[in-house]
Amino acid sequence: MREVSYLTSELVKYPSVSMEPFLNSKGIKEASVFIASWLKENDVKVQVLDLDNGWPSIIAGATDPKILLLGHFDVVPPGDEKAWNFPPFSGEIENGKVMGRGSNDMKGGVAVFMELLKEYPNQLGMFLSPDEEVGSLHSTSIYVNKIKPSLVLVSEPSGSTNLVVGEKGMIIARINIAGKTAHGSLPWRGESSLTNLLNSLEKLKNMLSNMSVKIPEPLREAYNNSQRIFGEDTIKITISVGVLSSGTVPTMVPDHSTAKLDIRIPHGVDINYVSELIREMGFEVEFSTEPNYYLGKWEELFLKSAREVGKNLVEVIDPADNDGRLFRARNIPSLCYGPGNEFNSHVYNEFVEESELENTLNVYTHFIKGAISEVN
């Protein structure tokens, strides 16, 4: 068995779920201890650092590195465990696949970076967040102000032929609607909060889908590639209602309804303007990220290095975001390339191909050689 597969499998065995109400602080803590011990055993300098409130981040490798490897070791909850064909945290390796929650997003990528760091412990730095799936507020958002590398590399699942140069922006919004209860046989005497909520969602959808989107010229090609890979709608503002709760029993007209939404915004749309419009319609904005991108010498060098090891990559915009954007917002170039792909993240029966782990490690190893001489 390949070392990087084995390491991925070991990482998957820790149920490091960061999302309330499924938060598993013990799983997160134990995963951080495992990562730190592995690095120590391989003579890599490492610190488990509590940047905020019991959230252990991993800082490893060179102090003040010029090249920073960035990732996260938390995962989303498994959801309905009966829907899985195998236990979600078993980390089984079968038919060339490492299986389990987090294998694709992004413990495979973390394993690749750990192996890479083992080869270049004094030239590379690594930062791993324990709370990326909930916004990295206790980790990367703080760490980004303490360091100024020349390049940040992220190994979130990109698809083996894609180099991510930017991501769509995101707004997490919620709406609470109150109504007036009445007997279910006399609905006209009450006011259904659910009916009003559904109307608000419909209005929001109409408004956002009618907004014009002007993709900046340098990103046209990347968006074209993304549309081919992810679907036509990648270029649009999208809304997904992830949480909807309402009412008490069928025979009462509901007087309280709540929805939580995930809205993704392409480049060229003013996210502050969108947030303002959403607020005016009665929604609260809980969290938002502005879309940004990087094109330049590092991206050219990455494409060239990959070609040299037989991989023809295309530039894409990722519909999902990663923490590289926090660095780009401070004018630090960030690129994302990692094993697995977006279709396999946050789903049942998550897996990553062993060949993808090998391939990614191979591309990075070749790229890093050139990049190290570039920064020195």
Residues that bind Zn ion (CB under 5 A): 105-106, 156
Closer residue to Zn ion, CB minimum distance, 283 or 364:
364
| CB 155, min distance to Zn ion, A | 9
Give the residue carrying structure tokens 């109504």.
Answer: 179
Dihedral (Cα; 185, 188, 194, 197), 10-degree rounding: 170
Which one, 115 or 167, has the nearer CB to Zn ion?
167
Q: CA-CA distances (angstroms) from residue 13 to 72, 98, 248, 270, 370? A: 15, 11, 38, 41, 35
Q: How far is the CB of 132 from Zn ion (least distance, A)?
A: 6
Min CB(220)–Zn ion separation in Å: 26
Q: In what order do the strands lie in the sheet with 93-94?
A: 93-94, 97-99, 351-353
Smaller CB separation from Zn ion, 56 or 254: 56
Q: Which is nearer to Zn ion, 156 or 315 (CB)?
A: 156
> For residues 105 and 255, which CB has a smaller minimum distance to Zn ion in the complex?
105
Quote the least distance from Cβ 162 to Zn ion, whole Å.
15
Nearer to Zn ion among residue 106 and residue 253 (C-beta):
106
b/e sequence 326-350, b meaning 16+ C-beta within 10 Å: bbbeeebbbbbbbbbbbebbbeeeb
Which residue, 179 or 340, has its beta carbon nearer to Zn ion?
340
Cα–Cα distances in Å, from 49 out to 62, 69, 86, 130, 165?
15, 16, 33, 11, 29
Q: How far is the CB of 133 from Zn ion (least distance, A)?
A: 7
The CB-of-16 to Zn ion minimum distance in angstroms stands at 12
Q: Which backbone phi and psi does 244 adopt, to 5 degrees?
A: -140, 120
Q: Outline where the chain has alpha helix (H).
A: 3-12, 25-41, 108-119, 140-143, 193-209, 220-230, 271-280, 297-308, 324-328, 354-375
CB of 103 to Zn ion, least distance (A): 12
